[in-house]
């Protein structure tokens, strides 16, 4: 497990690439005896473990439904307009809708009751109960985080839920920030405009596809991928991001424009990962909680989606840098950089004016615009890429390749995967019906992962410098 800084010691690194449990998993009794009250003559039917687990899972799904984190953190359009009128020289003034769509005290009490019932009905040794309990406890903290919007309390909760750029990776010595700075050095030196053939140098990057056209193209592609399962791609004028996936849909932001490569990326990122894992979770007859992702699953979800962009050769240096820059922006804001500071940093990195505002807003939504208290979720992307690759490589090296497809079984953290796999034989967990093609036959993936690990150790600076010396202009 990763070691965290003092502010987050109470939260283990739920994205650490755990492949095998240290001890054999606790096996629950599949038949539960029902205790009757004295004098109760009415017969009470016995309950199976699956019934109990499914009921608790459904209660958690129902309880978390109104907790719409990104919706609660939205900034009104007027904020960007005011910022532009001030010529990007004044901190934006942000106010949040006071009504969260639920009663915080009542929701907290409901979730705490679910935690108690999980402990009472499943017991402290139940591995599936642990996953449920941790998810329910995180939703309690989500309520706390949303109550603290616009204050430092928001950041403190965000850091415990999503982690921080100051956290350590599972090696116990490399910080997420240090990893991000190394990637920044690598990705910034790539002259991406020279990577295409001369005749089509800028064609894949020209953003001339409107939202309606992108939605039509994605509808056709995802309908093929999901077959008889109905999915839809629609245009939405309330989105902050360019695209977002839900339970059986992908939404495209009205007014956004895309390049052909952007559409390719959306297909794998939103469709093959986010939408597929939602549908795989919905297909579970018992493990119903897998359809929704609490913050503990964010690094796997976002990292897996970004890694699929890389594995399918759809990513670009500019796209990879954009995801990594989110991590560095979180780091800067945690260290006290204000909205103006981070906005200016994005500008100096070559982003267009609208991109600068949208990218900076992602970091400061919910927190304080004067610095020191950002929304830390965007640190998950680059961290998740590294941890997902490490998990897959560990599974291959330790003859546990069967675990890799279970990254797609629903919204999971890495330590959940071995536990979930162990419950396929008893019917509690159903294998994922939808997976990207390269995970259906993992021979190519196995070779790529093995060689990528080999190259990272062999192609050290001295060997690269041997060839670089003859290439200097």
Ordered per-residue pLDDT tens for the chain, 473 residues: 333 344 444 444 444 454 554 455 566 777 765 555 565 566 678 889 999 999 999 999 999 999 999 999 999 999 999 999 999 999 999 999 999 999 999 999 999 999 999 999 999 899 999 999 999 999 999 999 999 999 999 999 999 999 999 999 999 999 999 999 999 999 998 876 667 655 444 445 788 999 999 999 999 999 999 999 999 999 998 887 889 999 999 999 998 999 999 999 999 999 999 999 999 999 999 999 999 999 999 999 999 999 999 999 999 999 999 999 999 999 999 999 999 999 999 999 999 999 999 999 999 999 999 999 999 999 999 999 999 999 999 999 999 999 999 999 999 999 999 999 999 999 999 999 999 999 999 999 999 999 888 877 776 667 777 788 888 76
Q: What's this model's pTM, rounded to 2 decimal places?
A: 0.88
Q: Which residues contact 435 (CB under 8 A, 6 or more apart)?
A: 276, 405, 408
Secondary element (H or E) of residue 210: strand 209-210
Task: Report how far apart, in Å, the C-alpha atoms of 236 and of each of 37, 128, 241, 244, 253 are.
Answer: 54, 37, 11, 10, 5
Q: Is 251 helix (H, G, I), strand (E, B) or coil?
A: strand
pLDDT given for residue 452 in this prediction: 86
pLDDT given for residue 238 in this prediction: 82
Round to whole Å and give the CA distance between 1 and 360.
Answer: 31
Considering only CA atoms, which of 57, 63, 64, 65 is closest in space to residue 121?
57
pLDDT given for residue 10 in this prediction: 43
pLDDT given for residue 38 in this prediction: 60
Round to whole Å and give the CA distance between 456 and 466.
Answer: 16
pLDDT given for residue 399 in this prediction: 96
pLDDT given for residue 7 in this prediction: 40
Considering only CA atoms, which of 3, 22, 134, 11 is closest in space to residue 418?
22
pLDDT given for residue 14 in this prediction: 44
Considering only CA atoms, which of 108, 164, 135, 153 is closest in space to residue 53?
135
Considering only CA atoms, which of 405, 300, 387 is closest in space to residue 17?
387
Round to whole Å and give the CA distance between 172 and 265.
Answer: 33
Q: Angle at CA 460, nearest 5°, toward 455 and 462?
A: 140
Is the CB of residue 6 less than 8 Å from the CB of residue 19? no
Strand partners of residue 249: 232
Q: Which residues contact 348 (CB under 8 A, 6 or more apart)?
A: none
Angle subtended by helix axes 380-397 and 298-311, to nearest 10: 80
Task: Report how far apart, in Å, the C-alpha atoms of 296 and of each of 15, 30, 198, 275, 384 are.
Answer: 7, 27, 44, 18, 12
């Amino acid at each position: 497990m990763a070691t965290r800084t003092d502010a987050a010691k109470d939260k283990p690194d739920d994205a650490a690439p755990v492949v095998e449990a240290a001890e054999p998993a606790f096996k629950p009794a599949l038949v539960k005896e029902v205790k009757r009250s004295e004098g109760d003559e009415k017969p009470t039917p016995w309950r199976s473990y699956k019934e109990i687990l499914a009921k608790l899972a459904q209660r958690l799904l129902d309880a978390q439904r109104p907790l719409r984190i990104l919706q609660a953190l939205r900034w009104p359009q007027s904020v960007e307009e005011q910022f532009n009128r001030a010529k990007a020289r004044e901190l934006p003034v942000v106010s949040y809708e006071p009504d969260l769509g639920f009663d915080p005290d009542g929701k907290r009490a409901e979730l705490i009751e679910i935690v108690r019932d999980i402990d009472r009905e499943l017991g402290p040794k139940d591995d599936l109960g642990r996953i449920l309990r941790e998810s329910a406890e995180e939703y309690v903290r989500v309520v706390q985080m949303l109550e603290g919007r616009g204050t430092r309390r928001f950041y403190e909760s965000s850091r415990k839920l999503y982690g921080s750029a100051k956290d350590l990776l599972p090696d116990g010595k490399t910080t997420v920030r240090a990893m991000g700075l190394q990637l920044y050095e690598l990705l910034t030196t790539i002259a991406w405009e020279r990577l295409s053939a001369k005749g089509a140098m800028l064609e894949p990057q020209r953003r001339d596809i409107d939202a309606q056209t992108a939605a039509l193209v994605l509808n056709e592609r995802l309908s093929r991928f999901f077959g008889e399962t109905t999915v839809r791609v629609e245009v939405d004028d309330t989105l902050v991001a360019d695209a977002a996936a839900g339970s059986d849909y992908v939404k495209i932001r009205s007014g956004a424009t895309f390049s052909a490569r952007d559409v390719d990326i959306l297909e794998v990122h939103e469709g093959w990962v986010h939408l597929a894992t939602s549908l795989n979770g919905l297909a579970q007859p018992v493990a119903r909680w897998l359809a929704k992702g609490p913050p503990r699953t964010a690094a796997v979800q976002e990292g897996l989606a970004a890694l699929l962009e890389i594995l399918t050769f759809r990513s670009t240096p500019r796209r990879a840098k954009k995801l990594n820059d989110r991590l560095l922006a979180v780091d800067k804001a945690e260290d006290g950089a204000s909205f103006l500071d981070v906005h200016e940093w994005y500008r100096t990195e070559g982003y267009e004016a609208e991109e600068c505002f949208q990218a900076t807003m992602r970091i400061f939504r919910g927190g304080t615009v004067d610095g020191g208290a950002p929304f830390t979720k965007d640190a998950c992307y680059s961290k998740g890429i590294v941890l997902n690759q490490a998990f897959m490589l560990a599974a291959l090296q330790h003859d546990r390749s069967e675990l890799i497809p279970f990254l797609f079984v629903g919204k999971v953290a890495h330590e959940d995967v071995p536990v979930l796999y162990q419950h396929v034989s008893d019917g509690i967990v159903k294998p994922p019906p939808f997976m990207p093609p390269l995970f259906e036959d993992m021979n190519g993936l196995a070779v790529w992962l093995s060689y990528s690990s080999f190259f990272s150790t062999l192609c050290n600076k001295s060997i690269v410098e041997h060839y670089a010396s003859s290439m200097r202009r």
